[in-house]
Chains A and B, each alone.
Chain A
């Protein structure tokens, strides 16, 4: 089954404690992206990757890191989480041109 898998689905953490949200896709997509979704603001792009070892900033990259060492995986790293990073996070993948985005199930992150 074609899918994008994120883990964990829910996470409560404390300010400053490094965390990683994993994302994996089994569709051999070149393009992967991370979004955060906040009420009234819609989906905002954090980082994206057009292929292995190729990443670039989206609209709200501050406080986040990513890496793309393998085509299927695109983890999101919060080195020192802060309460303003409390949000719903989605990973998405797509083919070249990103004509369609396939989304993971989402990760609800709370930073206290």
Chain B
């Protein structure tokens, strides 16, 4: 079983809609969770981090974490064509492991 799993997509949404990206992880001791955005041919950039159960909002982005279900999600409200990219979920087990484990990414396409 992969440690961090994401649906590869593509997830296609119309402009202005809500895009919902999901991620599950296998290690129960995981403590830190991140969403990175990667445009084609570019390096990943951090857009959200979340450490405790519940929701965390930052502008049009909301990260949701449910540790009991080992599930983390990213909602993008009012999706724009510029949001079209691959979104990578990353998990850090903490406890001194200092290891970020990435999912394979979900490709999001926002069409006008």
Contact = CB atoms under 8 A, between A and B. Distances in A.
Contact of A97 (B45, B90, B98, B102): B98
Interface stretch (A14-22, A62-70, A103-111): A103-111
B99 A106 contact: no
B57 to A, nearest CB: 18
Contact of B34 (A35, A100, A103): A100
Contacts of A41: 104
What is the size category of the interface that chain B forms with chain A? Answer: 20 to 34
A103 B45 contact: yes
B46 A106 contact: no
B32 A99 contact: yes
Contacts of B92: 97-99
Given A40-B8, A40-B104, A43-B88, A90 B44 contact: yes
Interface residues of A, number: 25
Contacts of B49: 99-100
A66 B70 CA distance: 33
Contacts of A11: none
A92 B46 CA distance: 12
Given A43-B88, A97-B94, A33 B43 contact: no
A86 interface: no
A101 B99 contact: no
A74 interface: no
A-B interface, 5 closest residue pairs, ranked by CB to CB distance from nearest: A42-B104, A103-B43, A43-B102, A98-B98, A42-B102
26 contacts: A31-B98, A41-B104, A42-B103, A42-B104, A42-B105, A43-B44, A43-B88, A44-B102, A45-B101, A48-B98, A90-B43, A94-B98, A96-B98, A97-B94, A97-B98, A98-B98, A98-B99, A98-B100, A99-B32, A99-B49, A99-B92, A100-B46, A100-B49, A101-B44, A101-B46, A103-B44
